């Protein structure tokens, strides 16, 4: 009898979903505002993203909720802020009690009778049962391979190449015949997921294996063509995750040819801009203004300083990196164009919602910072374009500050999904607000959401206290930052879009500063509040019988450090277990048994 009711429920959900729109959610990794129409780099070549924007609404002040991959994607796909889930770091998202007892976007769509299918990097940690069908696992390649380990692209000079095969690597995907590593080993290309690597054949630009992003683009096209024109078909929610422009910035030569090196325009960077900031007071940002701050570098400053050290000047260094970044963005845009073609040239066009965004931005040397994970505009801002046939206006722009947390409730509204997103009382309701009013009336829609976008900062900890983390609020004309130690930054972005002048100590801005303090206080847990249940931190230890397991583990860690020097975030010449865990969680997770 129970099976009968389950079958009836499934049939009912399918019939209710049959006339609802399909959804395609496209996420690019580490994509900042270097997109046509978003005011980023003037030489960006993204005709397909521009084409999508012309058929929908562009949100020019959309922001992530935490500017680093793992927790950002966990927040996006569950619709829950980090301060309500406890997920500020890289522990698997389904290990958090709040998140595992709440439905992901795809789970909720499936419960409403939609088919769910995905490919590429969507959530940072893949949980297969969340999807009905899945194509390709996340693949950060291509990587140059010296026969033993992955290394940086052979065109990258030292010391930047010593950072490693991911963050220290950029350059064209070319035939490596005759190319060798710095220690003389012949090079080839590899790609694949963390658990398994495979050779990537590149005989020439026209005769080579497909990259991971190309495979994901082709997978999406095959799925769309299979579903187009079929009467009575089940509607679908499709996620497509493109890895570029995440490092290593390695794409085919033709994309580099689009951006001649000597023509690259540089971002406007104010010398000494970092001096009135306070990020250094919590993480040792070199050049910070705090006299008692630790002077070890964090990742963004280390990447910037090492890149500049590797070239003859700062301008030369940034031109090389920006060329590779623009090329990588252009390569992702090409795949997005293929997906748009598959939709627009089929019966799916008028009944398929398309959303394009990123998990966070990327700083390109501003404030001497070359990375994500800052609370400044370059890291928090993401492109967000929504095409909603029959609902959203075309060629429209909304300047309302919104964030990734709003995508989930928007899709519920647009697709008329029903039911609870909490699985039980241990879960959490959605934190965001539907963007539908802004799709219908982008300029003056009466949105129910907050006046400012809230972003938290990632910092490795064994346990997080949401009341004590660092946060930013981005309003229409202001940005406010409060770090974990109480230090503050305030920028009047209306006149200071580059966030050059910190007004937190300016008496004329005292009223605005007080207002933002109260806004933040009202939106995050108060000191002493119950901390959301979080996974217990356990350092992995070998179970093998050894004479001195502790000594053996340290020796193993030292060996790992030799291959991954960038894992030493503090740059003190030693790899701590905390640094090892944080690095491996993001960039080098161990293969599943």
Res. 479: pLDDT tops 70: yes
- In a 13 Å sphere around the CA of 400, the CA atoms on its Cβ side amount to 24
Mean pLDDT (whole number) for 71-98? 97
Mean pLDDT (whole number) for 346-352? 96
Provide the percentage of residues in the chain whose pLDDT is more than 90.
81
Mean pLDDT (whole number) for 431-452? 94
Cα separation values, 490 from 245, 287, 406, 465, 497, Å: 30, 19, 25, 24, 12
Tell me, what's the pLDDT at 445?
Answer: 76
Give me the architecture of the 2-137+219-245+349-523 domain, per CATH: 3-Layer(aba) Sandwich (3.40)
Confidence tier at 421 by pLDDT (50, 70, 90): very high
**Burial of 391: CB neighbours in 10 Å, binned 0-12, 13-18, 19+:** middle
Backbone angle region of 184, left / alpha / beta, with phi > 0 → left and psi within -120 to 50 → alpha: left
The answer to whether the peptide bond before residue 2 is cis (omega within 30 degrees of 0) is no
Tell me, what's the pLDDT at 15?
Answer: 45
Give the tens place of pLDDT for each residue, 89-104: 999 999 999 999 999 9
Instruction: Specify the DSSP element, H or E, that contains 338.
Output: helix 314-344
Confidence tier at 4 by pLDDT (50, 70, 90): very low
pTM of the full structure: 0.89
Mean pLDDT (whole number) for 423-432? 98
> What are the b/e assignments for 117-147, b being 16+ CB within 10 Å?
bbbbbbbbbbeeebbbebbbbbbbbbbbbbe
Give the tens place of pLDDT for each residue, 484-496: 999 999 999 999 9
Confidence tier at 9 by pLDDT (50, 70, 90): very low
Maximum mean pLDDT: which of 196-200, 297-301, 443-447: 196-200
Whether 205 and 253 have beta carbons less than 8 Å apart is answered as yes
Tell me, what's the pLDDT at 227?
Answer: 94
Confidence tier at 394 by pLDDT (50, 70, 90): very high
Tell me, what's the pLDDT at 508?
Answer: 98
453: three-class secondary structure by DSSP: strand
Res. 348: pLDDT tops 70: yes
Give the tens place of pLDDT for each residue, 523-546: 999 999 999 999 986 544 433 333
C-beta atoms surrounding 540 within 10 Å: 11
Tell me, what's the pLDDT at 16?
Answer: 55
Provide the percentage of residues in the chain whose pLDDT is more than 70.
88
Res. 578: pLDDT tops 90: no
Tell me, what's the pLDDT at 2?
Answer: 44
Give the tens place of pLDDT for each residue, 254-298: 999 999 999 999 999 999 999 999 998 998 543 333 333 333 468
Using CA atoms, how far apart are residues 387 and 378, in angstroms rounded to an integer?
A: 25
Tell me, what's the pLDDT at 556?
Answer: 67
Q: What is the mean pLDDT of the chain?
A: 90
More confident residue, 587 or 509: 509
Mean pLDDT (whole number) for 187-216? 94
Give the tens place of pLDDT for each residue, 108-143: 999 999 999 999 999 999 999 999 999 999 999 999
Query: Position of tokens 């394009």?
Result: 356
Confidence tier at 232 by pLDDT (50, 70, 90): confident
Using CA atoms, how far apart are residues 133 and 512, in angstroms rounded to an integer?
A: 49
Mean pLDDT (whole number) for 466-482? 98
- Give the CA angle between residues 53, 56, 62 to the nearest 5°: 70
The answer to whether the peptide bond before residue 297 is cis (omega within 30 degrees of 0) is no
Tell me, what's the pLDDT at 590?
Answer: 55
Confidence tier at 355 by pLDDT (50, 70, 90): very high
Instruction: Specify the DSSP element, H or E, that contains 325.
Output: helix 314-344
Angle between helices 577-587 and 549-563 (to 10 degrees): 50
Tell me, what's the pLDDT at 562?
Answer: 62
> What are the b/e assignments for 414-428, b being 16+ CB within 10 Å?
bbebeeebbeeeebb
- Which residues, other chains included, contact 303 with Cβ-Cβ below 8 Å and sequence gap of 6+? 163, 167, 370, 371
Confidence tier at 587 by pLDDT (50, 70, 90): low
Provide the token pair at 22: 């399909």
Mean pLDDT (whole number) for 152-164? 97
Tell me, what's the pLDDT at 592?
Answer: 46
Maximum mean pLDDT: which of 7-21, 160-174, 436-450: 160-174
Res. 470: pLDDT tops 90: yes
Helical segments of 345-380, H only: 377-380
Using CA atoms, how far apart are residues 562 and 182, in angstroms rounded to an integer?
A: 15
Tell me, what's the pLDDT at 377?
Answer: 98
Q: Where are the domains of the chain?
A: 2-137+219-245+349-523, 143-199, 551-587
Using CA atoms, how far apart are residues 186 and 479, in angstroms rounded to an integer?
A: 50
């Amino acid at each position: 009898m129970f099976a009968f009711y389950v079958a009836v429920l499934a049939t009912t959900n399918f019939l209710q979903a049959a006339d609802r729109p399909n959804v395609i959610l496209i996420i690019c990794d580490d994509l900042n505002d270097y997109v046509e129409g978003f005011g980023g780099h003037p030489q960006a070549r993204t005709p397909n993203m521009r084409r999508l924007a012309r058929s929908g609404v562009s949100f020019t002040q959309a922001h992530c909720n935490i500017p680093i991959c793992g927790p950002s994607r966990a927040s996006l796909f569950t619709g829950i802020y980090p301060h309500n889930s406890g997920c500020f770091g890289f522990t698997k998202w389904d290990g958090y009690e709040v998140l595992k007892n709440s439905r992901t976007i795809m789970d909720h769509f499936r419960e409403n009778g939609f088919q769910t299918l995905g490919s590429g990097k969507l959530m940072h940690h893949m949980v297969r049962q969340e999807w009905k069908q899945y194509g390709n696992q996340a693949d950060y390649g291509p990587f140059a391979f010296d026969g033993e380990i992955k290394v940086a692209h052979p065109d990258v000079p030292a010391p930047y190449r010593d950072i490693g095969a991911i963050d220290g690597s950029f350059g064209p995907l070319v035939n490596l015949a005759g190319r060798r590593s710095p220690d003389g080993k012949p090079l080839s290309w590899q790609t694949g997921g963390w658990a398994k690597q495979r050779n990537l054949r590149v005989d020439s630009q026209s005769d080579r294996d497909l990259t991971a992003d190309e495979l994901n683009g082709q997978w999406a096209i095959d799925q769309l063509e299979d579903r187009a024109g079929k009467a009575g078909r089940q509607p679908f929610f499709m996620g497509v995750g493109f890895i570029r422009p995440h490092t290593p910035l390695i794409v085919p030569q033709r994309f580099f040819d689009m951006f001649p090196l000597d023509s690259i325009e540089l971002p406007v960077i104010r010398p000494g801009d970092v001096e009135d900031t306070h990020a250094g007071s919590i993480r040792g940002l070199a050049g910070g203004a705090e006299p008692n701050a630790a002077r070890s570098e964090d990742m963004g400053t280390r990447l910037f300083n090492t890149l500049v050290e590797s070239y003859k000047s700062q301008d030369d260094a940034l031109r090389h990196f920006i060329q590779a970044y623009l090329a990588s963005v252009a390569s992702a845009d090409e795949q997005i164009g293929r997906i748009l073609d598959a939709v627009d040239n089929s019966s799916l066009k008028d009944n398929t919602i398309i959303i394009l965004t990123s998990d966070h931005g990327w700083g390109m040397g501003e404030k001497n910072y070359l990375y994500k994970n800052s609370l400044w505009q370059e890291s928090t801002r993401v492109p967000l374009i929504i095409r909603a046939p029959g609902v959203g206006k075309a060629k429209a722009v909304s300047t309302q500050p919104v964030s990734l947390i709003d995508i989930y409730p928007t899709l519920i509204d647009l697709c008329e999904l029903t039911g609870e997103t909490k699985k039980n009382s241990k879960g959490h309701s959605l934190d965001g607000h539907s963007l539908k009013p802004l799709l219908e009336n982008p300029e003056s829609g009466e949105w129910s959401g907050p006046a400012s976008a809230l972003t938290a900062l990632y910092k490795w900890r064994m346990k997080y206290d949401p009341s004590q983390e660092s946060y930013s609020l981005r309003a229409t004309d202001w940005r406010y930052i409060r770090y974990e130690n109480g230090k503050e930054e305030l920028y009047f972005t209306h006149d200071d879009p580059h966030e050059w002048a910190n007004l937190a100590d300016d008496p004329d801005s005292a009223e605005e500063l007080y207002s933002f303090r109260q806004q933040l206080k009202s939106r995050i847990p108060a000191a002493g509040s119950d901390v959301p249940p979080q996974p217990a931190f356990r350092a992995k230890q070998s179970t093998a019988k050894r004479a001195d397991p502790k000594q053996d583990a340290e020796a193993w860690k030292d060996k790992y450090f030799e291959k991954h020097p960038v894992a030493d975030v503090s740059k003190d010449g030693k790899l701590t277990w905390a640094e090892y865990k944080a690095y491996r969680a993001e960039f080098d997770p161990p293969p599943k048994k």
